[in-house]
Structure 1
Amino acid sequence: MIRRRYIDGRYGQVHLRENTPLGEPPLVCLHATAYSSRSFSALLAVLDGKRHVIALDTPGYGESDAPDGRIGIEAYAESIAEVCPDRFELFGYHTGVSIAAEIAIGHAARVDRLTFMGIPHFRALDFAAWRSKLAARHVLGERLDQFEERWRFFVSERAARLPLGRAFENFVDELKAWPHGWWAHDALFEHDLLARLEQVRQPTTVLNPPGHLAEPSRRAAAAMPDATVIELPEMPGPALDLYADTIASLLLAKQFVGGAVPA
C-alpha cells in the first residue's frame, strides 16, 4: 500500500510517498524538475513488500512548500537530508542526481549507496542552449495559451505507450510549480556537478537508458571513484513509468552483491 504524508522542513512541509516500511535502510527517491514524487509511483508499487521506498517532493514542487526565493542545489540537498531517516540509500533522477550527490557528500556516514539515472551533465552538451531551454523564466499571465507548449510537450506529443492520464499528471505537476518551476533548473545549471561527483565516495550504479543524457551520463560516471554503468538501450522514453519492473529488479539485485541475486 502506498501512503502519503508530510514532514516539517525548513521551508514548510515536505510531502512524500512511501510503500510498506521494511527493516533495511530505505531507498529515498529524488525526482526531476518540475515533476514530483509521483514520478516514482510505479516503482513504489512494484517494490512494495520487497524494498522500502520513500519518494519526496523537492521543496517548491508537487505538494511540498516552496522556499521564499531561489536557492542553490546545496540548500535543496540540506532541506531534504533534514527530513530523511538516520541511514538511507538514494535514487536520483535528473535534478535529483545533483541533489543526491550533495547529500551523499555532506552526509556520507548516513548514505550507503546511490543509484543515478539521467545524470544532468549538460557541460557535455550545448550548455548555453540547454540552460536557455530548461531555466527559462516564467511569468503568470491571464491567458490560457501560456500553457499550450507545455500541454503539447506533456500530453499531445507524449511518448508512445504513456497513458493519457499519466501524461496529464505530469502536466499538472508542471502547473503546480508555475511560475517558479524553473528555480531548481536554474540551481542545477549553477551547480558544478562534475566536480561534486568526483567527491562522491559511495558505490554508485548509473542506470543508462537511451536519450540525450546517455553519453553525458557515461562521461560523468567515468569521473566518479566508484561508479558502475548499466546500459539499458531497450528502455527508451519515460523509463520510470514504462519500465518500473526492470528498474525494480536492478535495484533489488544491487542489494545482493556477493550473494544470490533474486529472480
Structure 2
Amino acid sequence: MQIVRSYAKGRWGQVHLRSAGSSGGEKLPLVCIHSTPSSGAMWDAILPRLGRDRLVIAPDTPGYGMSDPPPAPVSIRDHAQALAVLCDELGLGGIDLAGFHTGSIIATELANLRPDLVRRVVVFGLAAYDAEARAKRLAGVRTVFPEPAADLVHIEKLWAKLTELADPRLQPEERHVAMADTLRTGSRLPWGFMAVYGHDFIAAMGQVAQPVLVMNPEDDLWLPTRAHWQAYPDARLVEIPGVKHGVLKLETDRVEAEMRAFLDMEPTCC
C-alpha cells in the first residue's frame, strides 16, 4: 500500500502528513505521533500494514520534519492542542492514538484534553521522570544538543548520539537519513525535549481514562517505562527486550500484531 503525503492547515501554519488507508469503515482512524527530533517517517513501516483496514495518519509535529514551526518553544499542552486542531481540520470525529517517546507524552496529554476525541492510546517508551530529574535534564539539553556552529562539533555530537541509541542492526545509511531529518530543525532541535522536561508526565498519566497499551522496547526509556507504566489507571505492558531504536522497522510484524489486538479489542462491559 502506498503512503500518501499531503499538507493540512495547523495552529502555526502547514502540517505535513503521511497517511495510508481510507476512512469510512468500521475502525477509527489512527493518528501516530513521532519522537523528538524525528518526523512522521519513523512510522513508515507501520502505516501500510495498519492502513489495510483503517485510515492511519502520521503528522510531522510543529517544527519537525516538514511542518511549519511555532514562533518559540512551546509546551506539551500546546502540542496536544495543536494536534486537536489538526484532527478537527481533518474532520476526524474520533480517533485512536499512537505515540513514540515525545509522541507518547503528546498522546497522553491529548487523551486528557479531548476524551471526546480519543478512544484508545498506544505508547512506545515513557519519558517518566520526577521533577528533580526533569530539571537536571532540562538544564543540560544544550550540552547534549549544542547550537549549530561553524566547526561542525554539533554534527559530530549528534552522530555519536544517534549511533549510541540506534539498534546495531540498523545500517549506517538509515542513521544518515534519520540525521538529515534532525539537521533540518537547526537550532530548534531541542525544543521537543524542552517541552518534555517541562511537563509533569507522571501526573498526566494518572488522569488518563482511556485504555492504554504500553510497548517497551529495550532502548533508553526501558527502565523509566518499567518503573512507571502502571501510573496509567487502565494499562497493559508489552516488553520487547533486545531491541533499541528502530523497533518499528525491526519488529514490524510483532508491533502490528500487538497494536491490532489492542485497537480491535471489544470494549468490556460495565
Fold agreement, TM-score > 0.5:
yes
SS in 1 for 2:187: coil
What's 2:129 paired with? Answer: 122
> What is the rounded CA distance, in whole Å, between the counterparts of 2:170 and 2:238 in structure 1?
24
Q: Work out whether 1:186 is the aligned partner of 2:194.
A: yes
Residues 56 and 255 of structure 1: is their aligned pair in 2 closer, same or farther, counting only changes over 3 Å?
Answer: same
Q: 1:158 to 1:92 in 2, by over 3 A?
A: closer
1:31-50 paired onto structure 2 within 5 Å: 31-50=34-53
Q: CA deviation at 1:195?
A: 0.6
2:82 pairs with 1:79? yes
Displacement after TM superposition at 1:134 (Å): 4.3
1:88 lines up with 2:127 in the alignment: no
Superposition RMSD in Å:
2.2
TM-score, normalising length: structure 1: 0.90
Question: CA contact under 8 A between 1:194 and 1:223: conserved in structure 2?
Answer: yes
Equivalent positions of 1:1-263 (< 5 A) are 1-22=2-23, 23=25, 24-84=27-87, 85-123=92-130, 126-127=133-134, 130-134=137-141, 136=143, 138-154=146-162, 158-258=166-266
Verify the 8 A CA contact 1:138 1:178 in the aligned structure 2: no
Bigger mean CA deviation after superposition, 181-190 or 43-52: 43-52
Partners of 2:244 and 2:258 in 1: how far apart?
A: 17
- Deviation of 1:6 after TM superposition, in Å, equals 0.6
Partners of 1:233 and 1:38 lie apart in 2 by 23
Amino acid at match of 2:112: I
Cα contact 1:20–1:49 (8 A) shared by 2: yes
Secondary structure of 1:112's match? strand
Contact 2:123 2:213 in 1 (8 A): yes
**TM score, norm. by length of structure 2:** 0.88
The offset of 1:252, in angstroms, is 1.0
Pick which of 130-139 and 200-209 moved more.
130-139
Alignment check: 8 A CA contact 2:73 2:191 kept: yes
Give 1:155 deviation, angstroms. Answer: 5.5
Structure 1 residue 221: Cα displacement: 1.9
Moved over 4 A (4+): 124-129, 132-137, 155-158
CA distance in 2, matches of 1:112, 1:171: 34
Between 239-248 and 88-97, the greater mean CA deviation after superposition: 239-248
Q: From the superposition, tell whether residues 104 and 158 of structure 1 become closer, same or farther in structure 2 (CA, over 3 Å).
A: closer
Q: Per-residue deviation at 1:3?
A: 0.4
Task: Map Cα deviations across residues 162-193 of structure 1 (whole Å, 9 max, x no partner).
Answer: 13332112101110112111111111101000
| Counterpart Cα distance in 2 of 1:258 and 1:109 | 18
Q: Is the contact between residue 122 and residue 130 of structure 1 (CA under 8 Å) also seen in structure 2? A: no
Q: 1:158 to 1:189 in 2, by over 3 A?
A: closer
Between 215-224 and 63-72, report the one with greater CA deviation: 215-224
Question: Any unmatched runs of 5+ in structure 2?
Answer: none
Which residues of structure 1 form unaligned runs of 5+?
none
One-letter amino acid of the counterpart of residue 175, structure 1? L
Q: CA deviation at 1:156?
A: 9.1
Q: Secondary structure at the match of 1:54?
A: strand
In structure 1, distance between residues paired with 2:174 and 2:141: 21
Following TM superposition, by how much is the alpha carbon of 1:157 offset from its aligned partner in structure 2, in angstroms? 8.2
| Counterparts of 1:125 and 1:31, CA distance in 2 | 26
